[in-house]
Amino acid sequence: MKKFTEDDVVGEEHWAKKGDNTKIFLWNKYTGDPINSIGTLVFVHGSSMASQPTFDLHIEGRPFSSAMNYFATQGFDTWCVDMEGYGRSDKDRDSYFFISDGADDLEVACQYIKNIRSIEKVHMYGISSGALRASLFAQRNPAMINRLAMDAMVWTGEGSPTLENRRKKLEEFKANKRRPINLDFIRSIFSRDHTGCAEESVIEGFAKAICELDTSIPNGTYIDMCENLPIVDPEQLTMPCLVMRGQWDGIAAMGDLLKFFERIPNPDKQFIVMPGVSHASFQQKNYMMVYHILNSFLSQASPNYLG
């Protein structure tokens, strides 16, 4: 079998329609014939950035800064989606765009992918509030999910210093449907938990890519994570699940996640702590370790016997 490189990866843009007029942007990367991929993988972004900077980042001298490139070379048909209000999807509707809205966007996106690829299920990876969007979508649509990976997940929010600090601005978030972002704000993601987990060149490249697409982002996910948790019921996640938690993550409190993990009913489940990683795992110094963890879970054979 041919061994693919980043030079072999093909990228294509797609547009799905939500309701009558709203356009949802999808970005697809693959190698070879995507119809014959080993699986379809949908990446779901977090609260403060669109999908392409998160999952298709390019940093000179840093191979596979694009997670999509890496997983495409492993044989996956990879997709990312801009939630409504972010990136290249429509932003003109006056809305907070809550986590539930993001789960609706994922249903639109996955139905589109299912139709053009003639498939029944997708793998899904979400990070931070993207993990909440992905898991809520999976809870609502279990028949559409093969394997679900949740990175930097939060369940009740108990024990999260980042959310404790964020709640101090809750009334400000509720008073405005969007909040401005800039380079300094993106840099703060890498300094709030534990400095040194990411290279400066990656932080700067990531921040620049985000701010080229958005100067403001919706407040809905922040409001949800400050006052509406829990949003997901782990007992309804019946598919194989992976919970990924960075060692230094200030949102994903260990005790909260372990209680969440314990309640997932499928015995085909894993809880992984990623050493040396804070919140934005694909932009960390240990990003290739993170890819390996996710790839191993997605590539794992299903058990023949469960008892």
Q: At what angle do helices 220-227 and 129-140 cross, to 10 degrees?
A: 80
Q: pLDDT tens digits, the chain, 307 residues: what are they?
A: 578 999 999 999 999 999 889 999 999 999 999 999 999 999 999 999 999 999 999 999 999 999 999 999 999 999 999 999 999 999 999 999 999 999 999 999 999 999 999 999 999 999 999 999 999 999 999 999 999 999 999 999 999 999 999 999 999 999 999 999 999 999 999 999 999 999 999 999 999 999 999 999 999 999 999 999 999 999 999 999 999 999 999 998 999 999 999 999 999 999 999 999 999 999 999 999 999 999 999 999 988 998 8
**Residue 280 · residue 245 · CB < 8 Å:** no
> DSSP assignment, residue 83?
P
pLDDT attached to residue 295: 98
Specify the 3-state DSSP secondary structure of 6.
helix
Residues 162 and 277: their CA atoms lie apart, in Å, by 16
Does the domain at 6-299 match CATH 3.30.1490.100? Answer given as: no
pLDDT attached to residue 267: 96
**Residue 252 · residue 244 · CB < 8 Å:** no
Domain boundaries, the chain: 6-299
pTM for this entry? 0.97
Contacts of 155 (CB under 8 A, 6+ apart): 229, 230, 232, 234, 256, 257, 259, 260
Beta bridge partners of 17: 23
pLDDT attached to residue 129: 98
Q: What is the DSSP string of 112-125?
A: HHHHHHT-S-EEEE
Strand positions, DSSP E, 97-187:
122-127, 145-151, 178-180
Query: CA nearest 279: which of 49, 14, 20?
Result: 49
Pairing of strands 39-44, 122-127: parallel
